[in-house]
Amino acid sequence: MKERKDLWKPEEDQLLEETVLEYTSNGDSKASAFKKASTELGRTVSACQYRWNMVITKREDYGSEENTRNTAGSLTHETHETPDTVPPANLAQVIHFLRNFAKTQPDPDQMKENKCLHEEQVQLKLQNEELIKRLKEKETEYKNQLLQYGEMASILKEADQLLKHDSIEEKRAVH
């Protein structure tokens, strides 16, 4: 069976990840990292961008130095220090820390506060819906009153014209 040329090997993923993380941590653009990786991997820039955005950044181990493997498959770097003892040294460590932090159990006080805020949000949504309903009612009422005002204004204008017309005829009759 012939091997597909578009399949990515773990070594290629690693090279792409390392290149992009190195470039971005140095303040360079991802575009320049994709260009560099594409020449090293013999792939197009678009293929590297797609692989980065759709596969590598969505992996569970993305950016984790503990899970970065060399071509032989052994660990290239292992750390026995906890995130609490050593500040993150690069973007990959920061991303790894944030992903693991999100998985930790929240504090009970935060849970209570979150529940209270959620209940408040629900109440505010209901209140907002009621206010929107009242606003629509007021808008309808305003439009009706505006129509009535327009009708009254046209009646008064017509009456004014009749009065002017009658006064002109009276003046003619007097003369």
Q: How do the pLDDT tens digits run along the chain, 175 residues long?
A: 444 567 888 899 889 999 999 888 888 899 999 999 999 999 999 999 999 998 888 886 665 543 443 333 333 344 444 444 455 567 777 777 777 666 666 678 888 898 999 999 999 999 999 999 999 999 999 999 999 999 999 999 999 998 888 777 776 766 6
Going from the C-alpha of 44 to that of each of 5, 21, 34, 40, 138, the distances in angstroms are: 13, 19, 9, 10, 60
Interatomic CA distance for residues 122 and 144, integer angstroms: 33
CA neighbor of 47 nearest in space, from 13, 23, 91, 11? 13
**Phi, psi at 129, each rounded to 5°:** -60, -40
Does this model's pTM top 0.85?
no
Please state, in angstroms and as integers, the Cα–Cα distance from residue 35 to each residue in 12, 15, 43, 46, 171, following that order.
14, 13, 9, 9, 95
